[in-house]
Homo-oligomer: A and B are copies of this chain.
Amino acid sequence: MFEELKQRVLEANLLLPKYSLVTFTWGNVSEIDREHGVVAIKPSGVEYEKLRAEDIVLVDLDGKAVEKGLKPSSDLATHLELYRAFDGIGGVTHTHSRWATAWAQAGESLPALGTTHADYFYGPVLCTREMTKEEICTEYERNTGKVIVETFREIDPKDVPAVLVHSHGPFAWGADAGSSVENSVVLEEVALMAFAAKMITPQKEVMQDVLLEKHFCRKHGKNAYYGQK
Contact = CB atoms under 8 A, between A and B. Distances in A.
Interface of A: 23-24, 26, 43-46, 70-71, 74, 96, 98-99, 101-108, 113-116, 130-131, 133, 136-137, 140, 167-169, 182, 185-186, 189, 192-201, 204, 207-208, 210-211, 214, 218, 225-229
A211 B99 CA distance: 21
Nearest to A200: B106
A229 B71 CA distance: 8
Contacts of A96: 115-116, 189
21 contacts: A24-B182, A24-B185, A24-B186, A43-B228, A44-B227, A70-B228, A71-B227, A96-B116, A102-B192, A102-B195, A103-B196, A105-B193, A105-B194, A107-B201, A108-B200, A131-B211, A136-B211, A136-B214, A140-B214, A195-B196, A195-B200
Given A23-B185, A131-B211, 9 more contacts: A24-B186, A101-B114, A101-B116, A102-B196, A106-B198, A106-B201, A130-B208, A136-B208, A167-B211
B228 A99 contact: no
A116 B104 CA distance: 11
Count of identical protomers in the assembly: 4
Given A228-B71, A229-B71, A169 B116 contact: yes
Contacts of A193: 98, 101-102, 105
Q: What 10 A-B pairs are tightest by C-beta distance, nearest first?
A: A45-B227, A102-B196, A106-B200, A105-B114, A105-B197, A106-B201, A105-B113, A106-B197, A167-B207, A115-B168
A64 B46 CA distance: 40
Contacts of A104: 114
B74 A226 contact: yes
Nearest to A192: B98
A207 to B, nearest CB: 4
A113 to B, nearest CB: 4
B169 A114 contact: yes
Given A105-B114, A114-B169, A193-B101, A23 B186 contact: yes
Given A105-B114, A196-B102, A167 B201 contact: no
